[in-house]
Every structure is written in structure tokens, then in C-alpha cells.
């Protein structure tokens, strides 16, 4: 048995709201040994992240308290330690990868400064030695051409690239314990395999322990030595991974293991009118260097791609992070500049300015990948969901808007009675559902769904896929569905475009792409997804 590194005993976390105290974590106990991986699994709101944040006393809620519990790390008690002791542990001995990279990275600092600051503060590195270490870290986490990304800011990176930068920051000081809160949420399947292999290799090399928080049971099966299943703040089942997956005892565990998106997309009329189409769509970003910021080249984010999305149809866009998927969606919505004709409902809109586009905005909506970054922390959920109704000049009374908000929240599986709460009071999965509700409230014709299920646990993924199908059939909606989760794409998309380095390397009906892929790249994507679902624990491959 490995030496205990972290020992959590009888931990409870309470939140006080409206004169009442509610337990978010209820007398939880677990331990992790050196080089060991423990996974906390469960649905959104089950208490996984709150338990992990308590280890370093990083709960961001003033009303939070710990009615009971002890947390011992290397034999020293942390739950009641002073700030000086905690500062020595945080970032050195224990580091954390947070679920939402855009809210954890400083928007005013470039990649080199964000990682370099950690190396300078904790290791005293500076100059060329620091830069070499930064490049080495970025290479390890799968950033292509890291030297060219050092000056990039978070908003210039894709969601998956931002997640990889966060992982590089967390690994910079070779910690004894890494807390990974959904570490591969934003990553495509091939990069997932790379990151998981990297974490395994680091564990083998340094005996680093890993506390893994995830809703992806395929990753748990590959990575974890032990599993704790959480429901409503309690651990309802715990044990070694192999035993728990083969012979689950608790009904909730059995439900989680059986939950995944199922079914097929609704049949569509291939002669249905195109809602949105683009011909040879191009989005090139200039690369500027030197004092005068001279353009020395271009990043060809989207390079001559043809797109057609018909009424009642879902077009899936798949590919690795940075392949141009999100950029394509933003270009079709005229949120970024592009070249090539874009036609919406029979009229060309690629020449429209912001004023000309405004009447169309209520018909063209987007659900962003990072829900917390797109939800205003100063607005209640009701204000967030009804904001579009107000901006678009809908002649609705306050009561009618409230009813519309209630209906939208109900459709995505949220209790309307929570509409006066704020985003920070919801789990990551719940925030994603709020973002979907905001888009649906305007009853649009075309929705770009940018990783809409990436932050959701398996059971809620299945619910959201069913919900999107139902809404699409009811309103004849057109979806552009961007995702790295090929299971969800197969369950929802009628046609698929496979993107790589800004190019469409393969396109066609979903069944044809999945069952008879033509290009080596598509074959590699599908093989990586299948491997993550089927290979036994401890065999993660790159």
C-alpha cells in the first residue's frame, strides 16, 4: 500500500443563504497515496469540486464554512492552517487545474508571462532559462510551434489551447499532488490521450498523486486507481476502479455507468432550404512582428471551406483544438471578419456591418464553450436569460418575459425558482445549461453550439442531446454543432465536416464519416475516441 499523501477525514462544507445553512459536502472521507490517482465522480452539483477546493482552502464563497473535518497533507493539518502555511503549499506542493481556463488565465498577460511568473516566483528562473522551460512545458502539453504562441493572449487561443496552457502552469513546479478539475473538458480526443499519457508519465517519474474530478467515466476507467462516487454531497460508493466498474453496488453508480448520449439525429429533408451557407470561407489572422508590427505571415484559421446548414438539420464540425471549428462558427454569425460569400435565408450578409446585422441577431444565436466566461457575474440568472428579449425590442411585459425565462430554464432541466441566483452559485454543468437557455429564449432559427455539452456529466449530456433534438423538430432549427466528443456528434449530427489546420479534410453524412472514414486523419480521430472508451485502466496511449 502506497504511503498516504493526502488524508481527508469527515469533511463537511456548508453554505449559508437566506438565513438557512445547506450542506454541499456531507461528512466525506478519502485518502490518496504517493503516485496514486483517486477520481471523484458524480453529476454536476454533487460536491466534487467543492471537496477538491477545500483541500487548499480555495472556496470562493464568503458564506462557506467547514462544520466538520480534517485535511492532512504530508502529515500536516491544512483545514485550520494559517495563510502563511497555505501559501507555501499552494503552487508548490499542491497545484490545481481548474475547469474553466478563460476565468483562470489573466486576460492582460500573454502566455509567456503567465507561465513565467510561476517559474520566477517558485523557482527563481529568469531570462533564457525561463523561456526554455516555458517552451518545454508547452511542448509537453501539445501546443504546436510553442515559440510562436509565447506572445499570444488567452483570447487568441482556442478553448483547448487555453486548457493546455493551464495544465503547463500547474505542472511547472513538479507538484506532489495535482488536483485536476475536468482537465480534458475542452480537449479533442487525440489531445485527451496525449494529456492523459503525460499525466501518467509524470506520475511514474515523480510519484505525483492525482485527485481527478471528471464526469467522463471513460477517463476514470483509464486513469484512476480508486473511485469515489458522489451524490448530493455524500460518497455513496467507493472502491478500486476495476471492481467498481465491473460490479457496481449502488443504484446511482449503475445509472452513471449506463448513461451516455444515445439515439440518432432526426431524419431531414436534403432538399430543405439552406438557412446558412458559405462558399470558400476564409478567415486569416495576420502574424505581426517587429517594432512597426509588420505582417510577416498569416494563421489560416479557416482556409476555403464550403458550408451549408439546412432547416431542421445539424451539421457537426469536428477536429483537434485550433483546427478552425469555432472560428468558422463565429464567421458564419458575422462576429469576426471573413472572406467569401455568406448567405442567410437567401440574402448575402458577408458585407453587412454591425447595424445591418442587428435585426438578424435574434434569429442567429450561439452557445459558447466556456459558460462562466460568457455569463455576467453581476446579473442574476433571470437577467441573463431575458437580456436578449430586452435588447431585441420584444414587446413583452415583465410578466411575459418572466414566463419565457421560466420556460427556457425548465426546458434545459433547471428549477425556475433559482432564477434570482447568480452564476457563481451554480456548478459548471448548470452554468452551461443556463447558457443554452439564454439562446433558446429568443426562439432563433440558427444556433451555433460550441461544445455545449463539454462541461456536462454523462447523464445530463444525454438529456441535453434529447432536448436539442426535440427543440429542433418542434421549431425546424438549424444547428452548427462544434464538438470534440464524437459520441455526441454521432447522436445529433446529420452531416459532419472534419477540420484540420483550417481545412475541411473530409465531409459527408454522419454514418459515412464514422463507419467508412476516407482520410488517415479522420481514422485517427475515430480510433482515439474508441480507444478512450474501450481500453482497460492504465493503458492510455498517445
Q: Is the pLDDT of residue 238 over 50?
A: yes
The last residue of one of the domains, among 174, 189, 205, is 174
Task: Report the alpha-carbon distance of residue 398 to residue 386 in Å, rounded.
Answer: 10
pLDDT of residue 322: 79
The last residue of one of the domains, among 118, 151, 174, is 174
pLDDT of residue 540: 43
Q: How far is CA 166 from CA 125, 141, 359, 455, 528, in A?
A: 19, 10, 39, 17, 23
Asked whether residue 155 falls in the same domain as residue 295, the answer is no
Q: Is the pLDDT of residue 261 over 80?
A: no
Q: Output the DSSP codes for 74-131.
A: TTEE-TT--HHHHHHHBTTTEEEE-S-HHHHS-TTS-HHHHHHHHHHHHH---HHHHH
Q: Is the pLDDT of residue 500 over 80?
A: yes
Per-residue confidence band for 34, with pLDDT thresholds at 50, 70 and 90? very high
Q: Is the pLDDT of residue 54 over 90?
A: yes
- Lowest-confidence segment of 19-28, 48-57, 260-269, 309-318 by average pLDDT: 260-269
Asked whether residue 314 falls in the same domain as residue 439, the answer is yes
pLDDT of residue 1: 46
pLDDT of residue 518: 94
Per-residue confidence band for 66, with pLDDT thresholds at 50, 70 and 90? very high
Q: Which residue has the higher pLDDT, 230 or 183?
A: 230
The contacts of residue 306 (CB under 8 Å, 6+ apart) are: 278, 279, 280, 281, 504
Asked whether residue 158 falls in the same domain as residue 278, the answer is no
Asked whether residue 518 falls in the same domain as residue 373, the answer is yes
Q: Is the pLDDT of residue 534 over 60?
A: no
Beta bridge partners of 468: none
Q: What is the average pLDDT across 192-209?
A: 82
Q: Which residue has the higher pLDDT, 107 or 459?
A: 107
Q: What is the average pLDDT across 241-248?
A: 94
Q: For residue 473, give the H/E element and its range.
A: helix 458-475
Say if 358 falls within a structural domain: yes
> pTM for the whole thing?
0.73
Asked whether residue 360 falls in the same domain as residue 508, the answer is yes
pLDDT of residue 316: 96
Measured from the Cβ of residue 346, the count of other Cβ atoms closer than 10 Å reads 9
The last residue of one of the domains, among 174, 196, 229, is 174
Q: What is the average pLDDT across 301-312?
A: 95
Q: What is the average pLDDT across 185-204?
A: 76
- Lowest-confidence segment of 286-300, 336-350, 431-445 by average pLDDT: 286-300
The highest-confidence range among 99-108, 272-281, 429-438, 531-540, by mean pLDDT, is: 272-281
* Average pLDDT over all residues of the chain: 87
Task: Report the alpha-carbon distance of residue 347 to residue 44 in Å, rounded.
Answer: 42
Query: Could you tell me the CATH number of the domain that includes residue 371?
Result: 3.40.50.300
Quickly tell me which residue has 487555453 as its cell.
Answer: 162
The highest-confidence range among 82-86, 113-117, 136-140, by mean pLDDT, is: 113-117
Q: Is the pLDDT of residue 343 over 80?
A: yes
Q: Is the pLDDT of residue 542 over 60?
A: no
pLDDT of residue 394: 65
Asked whether residue 351 falls in the same domain as residue 485, the answer is yes
Say if 55 falls within a structural domain: no
Give the three cell numbers for residue 304: 476555403
Say if 542 falls within a structural domain: no
Q: Is the pLDDT of residue 464 over 90?
A: no
- Lowest-confidence segment of 80-84, 135-139, 261-265, 467-471 by average pLDDT: 261-265
Q: Is the pLDDT of residue 539 over 70?
A: no
Give the three cell numbers for residue 246: 465491473
Q: Is the pLDDT of residue 525 over 90?
A: no
Q: What is the average pLDDT across 73-87?
A: 91
Give the three cell numbers for residue 101: 481556463
pLDDT of residue 344: 96
Say if 8 falls within a structural domain: no
Looking at the 3D structure of the chain, how many domains does it have? 2
Say if 1 falls within a structural domain: no
Say if 331 falls within a structural domain: yes
Q: Is the pLDDT of residue 538 over 80?
A: no
Q: Is the pLDDT of residue 535 over 50?
A: no
Q: What is the average pLDDT across 220-228?
A: 92
Q: What is the average pLDDT across 188-206?
A: 78
Asked whether residue 331 falls in the same domain as residue 462, the answer is yes
Could you tell me if 411 and 469 are in contact, meaning their C-beta atoms sit under 8 angstroms apart?
no
Task: Report the alpha-carbon distance of residue 518 to residue 492 in Å, rounded.
Answer: 21
Cα angle vertex 402, ends 422, 354, to 5°?
80
Q: What is the average pLDDT across 299-308?
A: 94
Q: Is residue 269 helix, strand or coil?
A: coil
pLDDT of residue 487: 85
Say if 205 falls within a structural domain: no
Q: Is the pLDDT of residue 3 over 60?
A: yes
The highest-confidence range among 173-182, 226-235, 389-398, 461-470, by mean pLDDT, is: 226-235
Domain span at residue 125 reads 99-174
Amino acid at each position: 500500500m502506497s504511503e498516504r499523501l493526502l488524508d481527508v477525514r469527515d469533511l463537511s462544507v456548508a453554505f449559508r443563504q437566506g438565513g438557512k445553512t445547506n450542506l454541499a459536502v456531507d461528512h466525506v472521507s478519502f485518502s490518496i497515496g504517493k503516485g496514486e490517482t483517486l477520481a471523484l465522480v458524480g453529476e454536476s452539483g454533487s460536491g466534487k469540486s467543492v471537496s477538491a477546493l477545500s483541500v487548499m482552502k480555495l472556496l470562493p464563497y464568503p458564506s462557506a464554512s467547514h462544520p466538520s473535518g480534517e485535511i492532512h497533507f504530508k502529515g500536516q493539518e491544512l483545514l485550520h492552517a494559517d495563510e502563511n502555511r497555505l501559501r507555501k503549499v499552494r503552487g508548490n506542493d499542491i497545484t490545481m487545474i481548474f475547469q474553466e481556463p478563460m476565468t483562470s488565465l489573466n486576460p492582460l498577460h500573454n502566455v509567456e508571462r503567465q507561465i513565467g511568473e510561476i517559474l520566477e516566483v517558485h523557482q527563481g528562473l529568469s531570462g533564457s532559462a525561463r523561456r526554455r522551460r516555458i517552451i518545454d512545458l508547452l511542448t509537453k502539453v501539445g501546443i504546436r510551434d510553442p515559440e510562436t504562441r509565447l506572445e499570444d493572449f488567452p483570447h487568441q487561443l482556442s478553448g483547448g489551447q487555453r486548457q493546455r496552457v493551464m495544465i503547463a502552469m500547474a505542472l511547472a513546479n513538479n507538484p506532489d499532488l495535482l488536483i485536476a478539475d475536468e482537465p480534458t473538458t475542452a480537449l479533442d480526443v487525440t489531445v485527451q490521450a496525449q494529456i492523459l499519457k503525460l499525466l501518467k508519465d509524470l506520475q511514474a517519474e515523480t510519484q505525483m498523486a492525482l485527485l481527478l474530478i471528471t464526469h467522463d467515466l471513460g477517463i476514470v476507467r483509464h486513469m484512476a486507481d480508486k473511485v469515489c462516487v458522489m451524490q448530493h454531497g455524500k460518497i455513496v460508493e467507493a472502491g478500486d476502479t476495476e471492481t467498481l466498474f465491473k460490479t457496481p453496488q449502488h443504484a446511482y453508480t449503475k445509472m452513471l455507468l449506463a448513461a451516455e448520449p444515445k439515439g440518432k439525429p432526426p431524419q431531414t429533408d436534403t432538399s430543405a432550404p439552406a438557412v446558412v451557407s458559405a462558399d470558400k470561407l476564409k478567415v486569416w489572422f495576420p502574424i505581426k512582428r517587429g517594432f512597426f508590427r509588420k505582417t510577416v505571415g498569416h494563421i489560416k484559421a479557416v482556409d476555403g471551406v464550403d458550408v451549408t446548414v439546412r432547416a431542421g438539420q445539424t451539421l457537426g464540425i469536428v477536429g483537434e483544438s485550433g483546427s478552425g471549428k469555432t472560428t468558422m462558427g463565429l464567421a458564419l454569425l458575422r462576429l469576426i471578419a471573413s472572406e467569401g460569400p455568406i448567405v442567410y435565408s437567401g440574402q448575402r450578409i458577408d458585407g453587412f456591418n454591425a447595424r445591418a446585422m442587428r435585426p438578424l441577431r435574434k434569429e442567429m444565436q450561439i452557445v459558447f464553450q466556456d459558460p462562466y466566461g460568457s455569463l455576467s457575474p453581476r446579473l442574476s440568472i433571470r437577467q441573463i436569460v431575458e437580456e436578449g428579449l430586452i435588447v431585441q425590442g420584444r414587446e413583452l411585459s415583465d410578466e411575459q418575459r418572466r414566463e419565457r425565462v421560466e420556460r427556457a430554464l425548465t426546458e434545459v432541466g433547471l428549477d425556475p425558482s433559482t432564477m434570482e441566483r447568480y452564476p457563481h452559485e451554480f456548478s459548471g454543468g448548470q452554468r452551461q445549461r443556463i447558457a443554452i437557455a439564454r439562446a433558446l429564449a429568443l426562439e432563433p432559427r440558427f444556433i451555433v453550439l460550441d461544445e455545449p455539452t463539454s462541461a456536462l456529466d454523462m447523464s445530463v449530456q444525454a438529456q441535453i442531446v434529447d432536448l436539442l433534438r426535440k427543440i429542433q423538430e418542434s421549431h425546424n432549427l438549424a444547428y452548427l454543432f462544434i464538438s470534440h466528443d464524437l459520441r455526441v456528434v454521432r447522436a445529433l449530427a446529420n452531416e459532419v465536416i472534419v477540420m484540420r489546420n483550417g481545412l475541411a479534410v473530409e465531409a459527408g453524412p454522419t454514418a459515412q464519416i464514422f463507419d467508412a472514414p476516407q482520410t488517415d486523419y479522420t481514422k485517427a480521430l475515430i480510433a482515439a475516441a474508441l480507444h478512450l472508451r474501450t481500453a482497460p485502466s492504465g493503458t492510455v496511449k498517445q
